[in-house]
Structure 1
Amino acid sequence: MKAKRIPAALKHSALTLLGLSFLAACSVSTPKADAPSAGTRTATNTYAKADWKELPAVSDADLQAGFSAWRSACPRLKTDPTWASTCAAAANVASAGDIRQFLQDRLDVYALRAAGNRADGLITGYYEPVYPGSLTRTSAASVPVYGVPNDMVSVQLDDLYPELKGKRLRGRVQGRVLRPYDDAATINTKGANAPVLAWLTHPMDLQFLQIQGSGRIRLDDGRQLRIAYADQNGHPYRPIGRWLVEQGELKKEDVTMDAIRTWANAHPARIPELLASNPSYVFFSKGPDDGNGPRGSLNVPLTAGYSVAVDRTVVPLGSLLWLSTTRPDGTPVVRPVAAQDTGGAIAGEVRADLFWGTGDEAGKLAGDMKQKGNIWMLWPKGVALPVPAAADA
């Protein structure tokens, strides 16, 4: 993902003036739910060595599908020293038996652990929504979908401070000072100095589009415009569901996308207040409509049911994981999955957001999913474990 650069002479002064307020918002914004506190992270208390026999059993079909989803990223990983040789050797592995042998020969198993050596974590879901809209503003479609603003700059902090890997500042240069970019409430009321890619018919469609991070806009002639995450305004993501709970409008256990939309439809005058509770704002670009899934942070098409968004400070993108959780109805979900995306609220050691696909059915499943789960990371033998970033970095 390319980032605009601020002149080198301003970098140090910008960091001083902006302080830590920007450091919390620095990742792809596909947030879905509150994340558990991560605590202090080290390799020894985050990755617990495990035996292959400890993994829950998976079906041959799930094994092959998960392995295929992971291998789809190998063209992106062929120059990655962690995965290059494993990817090269995986090219012709096909049968379930061969996959099992290949994984056991080449990868070690590490159970992910949260603070206090907790094995249980939070597994949520996301999807690619399809909403009605227009390429031009009409009386029905008047909610703009913005591209990246012309006046927003982005600073990749690890250019100067390697310990801040993955952290980024975003803002607007005024004179010689980098100031915070507008929050969502300001953009929703005053607009942005940005191209408009399309127009939606309802402000909640835009909010959910920003939460999911990508989607399709269904035009009147039947065509669909795919849009993808491009950047974010630098403000922290705050779940609108949490605001509804704080207002006494919903109970915490009842918060789903359907419940939020139902509330919004019943209280249209309060929608601006609801949206203003989340200062984060996502900007989009036009995505390829190649028949594949939307692209995640690794820039490969996501595979429904087998791609996940993770906290990249814990699980490097491109990793192969073993997931054990359930659907909202309690049906077990046990399978290998590929870490191919990230999200603003996907934070913590035992944390994943499972991509369920495109459309309303996938949206229902994703919107209801707030499940307990366990995750194991499959890591190449002989390769040093990643060093997890501090939780408060």
Structure 2
Amino acid sequence: MDRRVRQRRHWLLHGLLPALLAAAASADEVPAADTLGPAFATRNAAFLPVSYAQLPGWDSDALHESANGMRASCQALQRKPAWAGICADFDALDGSDAALRGFFLRNFYAYQIMSPARQPDGLITGYFEPLLDGRRQRDDRFRHPVYGLPRDLLTLDAAARGQGASAWLVRQGNRLLPAEPGTSGAAQYTLALDDARPNIRDKRLRVRLDGTTVRPYWTRQEIEQQALDAPVLAWVDDARRLYSLQIQGSGKIELEDGSLIRVSYLEQNGQPFLPNVTRSADAGLVLQAIKTRGLRVGAASGALAPDPAVPAVVNDEVAQLIARLSGQAPPPAAAKRPAPATTPASMPARPRPVSANANVQALIAALMGDAPAAPARPAAPAPAQPQKQPPASLALVAPASAPAGSSGSASASRPVADSGASSGSSGIPDPSYVFFRNTGGDGPQGPVGALGVPLSAGRSLAVDPRSIPLGSPVFISTRDPARRGGPLQRLMFAQDTGGAIRGSVRADLFWGFGDSAGQLALATNDRAQMWLLLPHAQAQAAAAASGPATRGLRSAATLRDCVVDDPDLCVED
């Protein structure tokens, strides 16, 4: 045989053939093209299919830094059919940026998230994990309780109100469930719930029993004037700092012996989140400092100054919000709040409490209706966001720092003591109130968010779970407060929820623990665009449910409320 023929055969066998086999073996790993998913819409958002090449900064993001976020999402979602294979694929990766890019390309369709009016611009804000001083036992100074779950706080499906002024109900754990007359343990109750608003995630009301009458759960003012039947996780010395903790949704408490306990959002009283902002208060400062998770109101003079860089719909919401908080319009519906997240390794283990920061103090003063303090830095003219609806879960996490299906038991809270006595009025007019769980001592992981997993500093988002399914990867493009407004374009994970986090293109970025994180959180309030990465199976199901609505042929009233109808993540009406 000619030597050249033998050489060619050798090359084919030992060169081209292995390459072909390798290509065949990897055919399922790397898609032939950046394929587009089907378009779809919900009542709250529209989803435009895009290629990954259209994501600004996708190729330059350090995706290996997002691996912990993906791992945490898989921890919560790996048993769900749409995620089982995805999480198995993720576990087999080598963790390199190239491998992760191929993984997302292979398993997720990319969608630009838009408002129902097809506007791509929205709002991103920031939150963090503060530090408070506390005690195990109450004394004259440390007299404000950090409550666990009250034993008399119950939930009732909002649909029960459709039965009329009364209903047969039976109690199971902390839930009231519809029952047939005569059912063992059931009774007929009067429903005095005209003003109650359901939580947006689980569509349940937070209620209490008053004899045979079901009423909305106690307001903040009522809670402060009684000895609540609830475990106390710690006692703190400042009601306003406790209020700030409730707004952030999680934090750490340093006890008298120097030990730290971490608390995370567990539940909320179902009352609307209504801080005492008036036209005489510096609303811009309130937005930055108090971190109502994106609430932005007007200027100190009370005149609304629309920000031309912000979508008109956002400025309209700001105007409505100011009117509501000024008592010129009826308050809206309730919303919920998220829990915080993890700390970068560079962050000090025990920084000085951010709650002592001048911006935070000024913000709290403004919320309290005190004389406004001068802002530490000029306040921007006022973009804003969520329609301040009475949150079904004010400060942080949605009723689910624990997964939505959980009972919310306080047994894991390891209480310091039960309250035993009222703390007296704090003077805080906001009727909303947050209850916490003790998630253990200090540690490297972030606090637990609404998805039920630890949050990652700089990579976890609080979102509206109707528009962005919890656990989903979300790519964002905004400005970086740590780099003088340079681009911040990175992959994040939707792992938390929040009372002021309402709407389609809307998120709250978790920055971590302590003063450095607090400064970044206070500085984060900017326009943003967002892209949802959705598993193929979920995208196909969402498109099937959306039907021709994406072509304008269907009424919004017939669209789904949630992208993914999942009782653990978002419950349909």
The answer as to 2:435 corresponding to 1:283 is yes
| Kept after mapping to 2: 8 A contact 1:356/1:366 | yes
| Kept after mapping to 1: 8 A contact 2:82/2:537 | no
The answer as to 2:346 corresponding to 1:345 is no
Residues in 2 aligned to 1:169 and 1:266: alpha-carbon distance in whole angstroms: 30
Q: 1:292 aligns with which of 442, 445, 458?
A: 445
Superposed CA offset, 1:22-56 (max 9, x none)? xxxxxxxxxxxxxxxxxxx6279511111111101
The range that moved more, 72-81 or 108-117, is 72-81
Q: Residue 82 of structure 1 aligns to a residue in which SS?
A: helix
Residues in 2 aligned to 1:381 and 1:255: alpha-carbon distance in whole angstroms: 38
Superposed CA offset, 1:280-311 (max 9, x none)? 10011111335311011111110000011111
Please report the TM-score for the alignment, with normalisation by the length of structure 1. 0.80
Instruction: Give the superposed CA RMSD.
Output: 2.9
The answer as to 2:547 corresponding to 1:389 is no
Alignment of 1:131-210 (within 5 A): 131-157=132-158, 166-210=202-246
Please report the TM-score for the alignment, with normalisation by the length of structure 2. 0.56
Residue 112 of structure 1 corresponds to: 113
- 1:123 shift after superposition: 0.5
Q: Looking at both structures, which has the greater relative contact order when contacts are Cα pairs under 8 Å and sequence separation is at least 6?
A: 1
- 1:355 shift after superposition: 0.7
Residues in 2 aligned to 1:44 and 1:198: alpha-carbon distance in whole angstroms: 39
| Kept after mapping to 2: 8 A contact 1:325/1:371 | yes
The answer as to 2:130 corresponding to 1:129 is yes
Q: What amino acid is the match of 1:131?
A: L
Q: Residue 293 of structure 1 aligns to a residue in which SS?
A: coil
Distance 1:304 1:124, change over 3 A: same
The answer as to 2:282 corresponding to 1:250 is yes
Q: What amino acid is the match of 1:285?
A: R
Residue 535 of structure 2 corresponds to: 380
Alignment of 1:1-393 (within 5 A): 42=42, 46-58=46-58, 62-93=62-93, 94-157=95-158, 166-238=202-274, 240=275, 243-244=276-277, 246-252=278-284, 255-257=287-289, 258-259=358-359, 261-262=361-362, 264=364, 275-276=428-429, 278-289=430-441, 290-328=443-481, 329-383=484-538, 384-386=540-542, 388-389=560-561
Distance 1:174 1:147, change over 3 A: same
| Kept after mapping to 1: 8 A contact 2:285/2:362 | no
Residues in 2 aligned to 1:143 and 1:234: alpha-carbon distance in whole angstroms: 21
| Kept after mapping to 2: 8 A contact 1:350/1:374 | yes
* Number of equivalenced pairs: 346
Superposed CA offset, 1:138-160 (max 9, x none)? 33322111111121111255888
Q: What amino acid is the match of 1:228?
A: S
| Kept after mapping to 2: 8 A contact 1:327/1:371 | no
| Kept after mapping to 1: 8 A contact 2:505/2:529 | yes
Residues in 1 aligned to 2:62 and 2:435: alpha-carbon distance in whole angstroms: 34
- 1:381 shift after superposition: 2.2
| Kept after mapping to 2: 8 A contact 1:157/1:165 | no
Residues in 2 aligned to 1:275 and 1:125: alpha-carbon distance in whole angstroms: 23
Residues in 2 aligned to 1:291 and 1:301: alpha-carbon distance in whole angstroms: 10
Q: Residue 115 of structure 1 aligns to a residue in which SS?
A: coil
Q: What amino acid is the match of 1:152?
A: L
Q: Residue 285 of structure 1 aligns to a residue in which SS?
A: strand
Residues in 1 aligned to 2:71 and 2:431: alpha-carbon distance in whole angstroms: 37
| Kept after mapping to 2: 8 A contact 1:126/1:367 | yes
Distance 1:385 1:120, change over 3 A: farther
Residues in 2 aligned to 1:197 and 1:254: alpha-carbon distance in whole angstroms: 28
Residue 17 of structure 1 corresponds to: none
- 1:190 shift after superposition: 3.3
Distance 1:292 1:267, change over 3 A: closer
Residues in 1 aligned to 2:255 and 2:531: alpha-carbon distance in whole angstroms: 42
Superposed CA offset, 1:253-281 (max 9, x none)? 663225452265699895968621x2110
Distance 1:156 1:267, change over 3 A: closer
Distance 1:104 1:317, change over 3 A: same
Residues in 2 aligned to 1:53 and 1:263: alpha-carbon distance in whole angstroms: 41
Residues in 1 aligned to 2:369 and 2:105: alpha-carbon distance in whole angstroms: 57
- If you compute each CA radius of gyration, which structure gives the higher value, 1 or 2? 2
Residues in 1 aligned to 2:269 and 2:78: alpha-carbon distance in whole angstroms: 32
**Structure 1 stretches lacking a partner, 5+ long:** 1-40
| Kept after mapping to 2: 8 A contact 1:67/1:336 | no
Residues in 2 aligned to 1:220 and 1:65: alpha-carbon distance in whole angstroms: 36
Superposed CA offset, 1:221-267 (max 9, x none)? 211011111111011222x2xx33x2412143663225452265699
Residues in 2 aligned to 1:101 and 1:147: alpha-carbon distance in whole angstroms: 44
**Structure 2 stretches lacking a partner, 5+ long:** 1-40, 160-176, 179-199, 290-357, 372-424, 546-559, 564-571
Q: What amino acid is the match of 2:512?
A: G
- 1:125 shift after superposition: 0.9
Superposed CA offset, 1:80-114 (max 9, x none)? 12222111111122111111112112211100001
Residues in 1 aligned to 2:152 and 2:491: alpha-carbon distance in whole angstroms: 42
- 1:135 shift after superposition: 1.0
Residues in 1 aligned to 2:427 and 2:110: alpha-carbon distance in whole angstroms: 43
